[in-house]
Each structure stands twice: as structure tokens, then as C-alpha cells.
Amino acid sequence: MQISIVIVSYNVKEFLQQCILSLKKSLESIEHEIIVVDNDSVDGSDILIRHDFPEVKLIKNNFNGGFAKACNQGLQIAKGKYLLLLNPDTMIQEDTFLKMIEFFESNSEAGAAGCKILNADGTLQLACRRSFPTPLVAIPKMIGLTRLFPKVKLFSKYNLTYEDPDKLLEVDAISGSFLMFRRTVFKQIGGLDESFFMYGEDLDYCYRIKNAGWKIFYVPFTKIIHYKGESTKLASFDNFLTFYKAMDIFVKKHFSRSSKLLLDIFLRIGIVTRGIITFANRFIMRHIIMLVDGIVILFAILLAHHLQPKPLPTYQTLISMLLFYLLLWLGTGYAIGLYDRRELSYSKATVVSITGFFMSLIFNYLFQGIIYTPGLLLFSFFIVTLFLPGWRILLLILQRKRIIPPASPFSKALLSRRTILIGAGPEGERIAKKLQSHIEHGFEILGFVDKEYHFTRIVGLPFLGVTADLAEIIRINTATELIFTSDRFSNDNILTIMDLIKDVKINMKIVPQHLDFILGKSSVEKIEDIPLINLDYNIYHFVNRSSKRFLDIFIAGLGSLFFSPFVVLYALLTGCKLQKQKFIGQDSKIFSSFIIKKKNGQGIRKNLMYFPLIWSVFLGDASMVGSELLTAEHNDKYLRCKPGITGLFQVQGNHMPDEIDKQNYEYYYIQNHSLFLDIEILLKAILRI
């Protein structure tokens, strides 16, 4: 076999497909093998290979161990005289392999070689010919002199930009996106260094090839296109920081002590600077709506300060008021859920304005004359109530009227609704077509997700993966909206998926086929004849989760303090004992607790039998109010909220609900949960006792 091509793939299914098709054309007259190592993609890359390219050797990893590790997996089974590491986001010219093999056959001293690599716009990809990053080579690049003076040899040695791109060159290193070498080299120096997760492993490998006495060449007689960064832009790590860390590993591994020290200083500065920029950028993008609200609130207070009748507070007092009430209003918004998901909810903003005002009244009453004057407070309330929902309404109107272009950076930052359609059936196709024809609503359809894998594009949109991988698909595609189609997913399916991704901050909507039962509650948005109903489950809200936990601890504390002596006395007088029992918890987790039973094995009243579970409530395994309390033998049951000592269906008296009734009670409880509902259920449970 003349050549083995090893491709490491990560969530670039369509690029991988195109790459393999171009390989087949270039390899028609050459004995070859193609090996694909999939690093735990969720886009169905492995299914595509098995279905469309059964002749390709596939290694499917269940975790992403990095590029070097995956390359080594492929190289271990490769049989070719020549070995090639190739990125999946590449397109190969028809004569590439003939030219490269011909070059190796006529240059016995060549241990490795790379061809000319072009960007998608036809420009030369600079990484295809490089020098090793010694201090004199690396420092000009790090401080930007290479970019300023690309034709000056002293400053441009790293990417050799002073050399003719059509000239055959012996170089220090070539790009790992097309790194071809002899099997003899692989046998001599082994595989890639797996301490490099991403970046730097190709540079290190070239360094080892040179040290083994081989030459490395840049061969411009043939070329490929490399759509750079398609895999890494979907990764969960910062590419720039990973690059700097890789350079750090390389320098420490190969360079002298003096070179290490000098380069280490510049690398550390680069890592810290990039870290600060990355953190600031991510913080701004994740909290951009909160930041705009903060500016609006500050402006409202300053405007109120200017407009209110004299006397005015001092500026020192004003600054303290600004900080205090800024935190108060933003904190109220966070507690109510205004910033849970990236959406412009003017109704919630109005509630925040009113709630913040009443909280301000309370603080103003408690700290009268210290924090705020009544006049300034009233003015601020009116202006905040006008501006906080107002800027949201204004933006939405401008978007609907297409005054703000949907593709503008401003729209993408605040108004873009990166949407995944859950359901690849006829209803999903209909919704996709409608949303695509109404771009003024800001929906950017990313693709489809379904229970089973689909091989073809649907109305021109890609299939992103299956619901089991939905959380990762949302992260990879930076989605902000999910739309469920009820022709493919039942209410129970939707609740199961929502529970699976409950920790992911994303807006969820459903398009019901029949309006006799609507999941969730909230506003209805209409796109022509398509009603998009928000799925808004109270039990997942931060305030409700916090209040529920507080109530659990409070009631469990009172119960254990006041009733434990009586329960212990009763157990001693009636001949009972503690028996360990396993129960099903939330998300099918198993937890252990004690129950009270008579020594002869007979049961007692349930409210006494399960009293020791009050300690499981303290630990957070159970709740005072929740789903059905089931022992571990019922392992076929899945609980969407914690099991409760009591619950909505447990207080139904003599009526014993069937499974459908229990499910409906659970739906209702999840949708309508509140502190007051829990208190009401607890009171009913106590009255029953």
C-alpha cells in the first residue's frame, strides 16, 4: 500500500464528507487507505462514514482526548509506505498525491513534506512553511513586527513571508493540516507527543524528524484548500490560549535554559493578556442585556436627579444611591429571571421596574433620609419603568421594520435568535420555511435535532444530531432558542428533554398541533399561522428553586426539633426499629434513608414510617413536597423533581391516582410550582394526618 491518510474529525460532518470525496478523486490510481478517527462528535459524523463510506476505516472515540492522541490511534493501524495527517476541513487537488509521492521518490533525504495550502479566499496559509520558534524568530511575531514588516527577513522568519510562495524550500516545519512523512520516519521516532492537546504537536514532530537526520520540505507544485479553524471553533476551549500553552510546552521541551527564560516571559505575558481579553469578552457577551439595563438605570437615576425639584442631594450621596439602587434593580431582575435566558422580555422588565420600586420604598422607609429622597425615588421609578421595557420594545420594533438589519453585529449581539428545531418531520419543515421567510423576527435557523439520525439536509438546513446529545449541540452551535414540534414529540418526550437540559440557559418554545393541551405558560408569539408558545416551567426558576430549598430546610428543622422525641417514644413503646431503605431520587439517582417498621415486619402509618426521611430532606436527596416516593425496585420510573414526603397527588384522600393521573399531577406541579403551592400542599397533608 502506497499511502495511508489519517483524518481526525470533530463535529465537521459536512466538511469531512467533502474532504473524503476530494480524496477519492485524487487517489483513484493509487493504492491507499483512509482512516478517520472521530473525537466524540455529536453531529453524526460516524454514522455518515458507516453509511456513505463503508470502505473508510473508522475509529470512534467516546471522549475528546486531543488531536495528537487521535492521530496516534490512526497511525498505529496505518499500513502505507507513506503516511499523511490531514485535517477534515480540507479539499484536495486531483494531482496532489501523484506529485507528493513523486517528490518523495526522487528525494531520498526528505523525511516529511507539505504542499502549498490555501485559505478559502485563495491566499497562502502562512502555517504551511515555518521556522522553529527560537527567541530571534518568535519574539518579532509575538510583538507584531512580523505583521508590520512581512518582507523583512529579520522579522519574518517564523512564517517565511519574505520567500516566494512558489519556491521549493527546505524548512524547519510544515502544517499539521497536511503533514506527509515516510513510514520509516514513524518507525524511527514514533508517534506524536500526546502532551500537546491541540496545536504545537506538528511543530514538535517536525523538530524530532529534523533531529533524527531527515529533511523537511515545502513543496509548492500542488496545493489544497484548508477551511482553517472549522473544528476548533466548535471546541470548548480558547484556541488562542491553547496555542500559547502549546508553545510553552514546546519551548520547555526543546530549548536551552536562556532561551526558555526569555521566551517564557513573552509567553506568560501573552497568556495573561489573552486570558483577560477572553474573560472580558465572554462576560460582556453573556451579560450584555444586564449591562445595557445597568446603563439605562444609571441614566434614569441621573435624569431624575436633574429633573426633580430642589433641594438636590450632594453628588457624594448620589454616587452611593447610584450603586445601591443599581444593585437593587439588577438584583431584582436576576431574581425574577429577566437574565436567565438571552431574550428581550419587556413584560418581565416591567415587573422588575415595579418590584424594584416597592423594594426601594421599603429601603427608603427603613433608612429614611440616608439613601434616597422620596422625590428622587418617584422620579427614578417613572423613568426606569419607561426606559427598562422601553428600549426592548424599541429594538424589537426596529427589527420588525427591518430598520436594524438582522445580519448586523448589533442585531446578532442583542436580537439574533439562534434557533434549533426539535423535530425533523413535516411540521418541522413547515416551521423552518415560515421562519426563513420572516427574517424580521430574528430567527436564525441553525438546523434540526430529532430522536433518530437523518442523512439528508432538510429544506436546505443541516441535521445537527440527536436529542441525547442536545446539551452539547446547543453549546457547539451557541443556540439561544429551541422550538419543539408536537408531531414528533409528545408532552412526556418534551418534559424529558427539558429535564435533560435544565441547567442550560436557553429559550424553549412549542408549536402545538392541537390547542387542547399546552405545555408551560407565558406569552404566545405568532409568525403568520404559527403560534410559538413559550415553555416556562416555574420549578426551574432560580427564585422558586431557592425558596423551595429554604422551605425544605425550615420545615425539616422544625419537624426534627419538635416531633423527633414523640416519634422515638412511639417507636420504643410499639416495638419498632429503623430499617435502611433505598429510594429513587431525581434523575434516577439512588439514595439511602431509614424508615420505621415494627420488629415483626408489619408496617405502620406512612406518615410515621417515613419520618426519618426528614434527614434526606436536609441532605437535598428528597423534598417535603415533590414526586412520588418510590423504592429502588421501581427502577423503571424517572422522576423529574425530587421525591417528596408528600405531594400533589398524595393529598387526594381516598382517591388513588393511576399512572396517567400521577403524570398529569407532576406536569401541573412542575409548571405551576411556587412557595405558596408547597405550603398549601403541606397544610393539606397535615390536615389529613
Give CA–CA dist 18/13, Å, rounded: 9
Q: Torsions phi, psi of 457, nearest 5? A: -70, 150
Q: Mean pLDDT lowest for which of 66-75, 133-142, 452-461? A: 133-142
Q: What is the pLDDT confidence band of residue 74, given thresholds at 50, 70 and 90?
A: very high
Strands, E assignment, 519-589: 524-527, 530-534, 576-584
Weakest mean pLDDT among 53-62, 117-126, 276-285, 654-663: 654-663
Q: Average pLDDT of 602-620?
A: 77
Contact 252, 260 (CB under 8 A): yes
- Percent of the chain predicted with pLDDT > 70: 80
Locate CATH 3.40.50.720 in the chain: 416-536
Instruction: Please tell me the distance from the alpha carbon of residue 320 to that of residue 334, in angstroms, as a whole number.
Output: 21
- The DSSP bridge pattern shows strands 507-511 and 530-534 to be antiparallel
pLDDT tens digits, one per residue of 386-409? 888 888 888 777 766 767 665 555
Determine the length of the chain.
689
Mean pLDDT, residues 542-556: 86
How many CB atoms are closer than 10 A to CB 566?
A: 11
Tens of pLDDT, residue by residue over 318-343, are 677 778 778 888 888 887 777 766 66
Contact indicator for 133, 263 with CB cutoff of 8 Å: yes
Tell me, what's the pLDDT at 85?
Answer: 96
Q: Average per-residue pLDDT in the chain?
A: 80
What was the pLDDT predicted at 518?
43
Distance separating alpha carbons of residues 99 and 91, to the nearest angstrom: 16
Q: What is the DSSP string of 177-203?
A: TEEEEEHHHHHHH-S--TT-SSSSHHH
Model confidence at 511: pLDDT above 70: yes
Cα separation, 370 vs 364, whole angstroms = 8
Q: Which of 611, 615, 576 is nearest to 592 (CA)?
A: 615
Q: What is the largest CA-CA distance in the chain?
A: 98
Question: Comparing 113-122, 184-193, 258-267, 644-653, which segment has the lowest mean pLDDT?
Answer: 258-267
Closest C-alpha among 443, 416, 472 to residue 464: 472
**What are the C-alpha distances in Å from 204 to residues 142, 250, 255, 528?**
19, 7, 12, 58
Would you state the pLDDT for residue 524? 60
pLDDT at 79 over 90: yes
pLDDT of 317 above 80: no
Give the pLDDT of residue 629. 84
Residue 644: phi and psi, rounded to 5, are -115, 145
pLDDT of residue 653: 57
Protein fold of 416-536: Rossmann fold (3.40.50)
pLDDT at 523: 56
Taking the model in full, what pTM does it have? 0.66
Of the chain, the end-to-end C-alpha distance in Å amounts to 81
pLDDT at 288: 81
Q: Is the pLDDT of residue 515 over 60?
A: no
Q: Residue 562 has which C-alpha cell?
A: 419538635
Q: Give which of 278, 282, 241, 277 is closest to 478, Cα–Cα.
A: 282
- Give the residue with greater pLDDT, 153 vs 228: 153
- What is the DSSP pairing of strand 463-466 with strand 178-182? unpaired
Cell numbers standing for residue 176: 499539521
Question: Can you name the CATH fold of 3-231?
Answer: Spore Coat Polysaccharide Biosynthesis Protein SpsA; Chain A (3.90.550)
Q: Could you tell me if 131 and 157 are in contact, meaning their C-beta atoms sit under 8 angstroms apart?
A: yes
Packed helices 13-26 and 96-106: angle between N→C axes, nearest 10 degrees: 60
Grid cell, residue 93, equals: 487537488
The CATH 3.90.550.10 portion of the chain extends over 3-231
* HSE value, Cβ hemisphere, 13 Å, CA-based, for 300: 27
Q: Decide if pLDDT at 605 tops 60.
A: yes
Contact (CB, 8 A) for 373 and 321 = no
pLDDT of residue 169: 93
Q: Is the pLDDT of residue 367 over 70?
A: no
Q: What is the per-residue pLDDT for 516?
A: 41
CA gap 276, 180 in Å, rounded:
38
Using CA atoms, how far residue 338 sits from 289, 331, 351, 673, in Å, is 9, 10, 9, 18
Q: Tell me what pLDDT residue 157 has.
A: 84
Contact 426, 458 (CB under 8 A): no
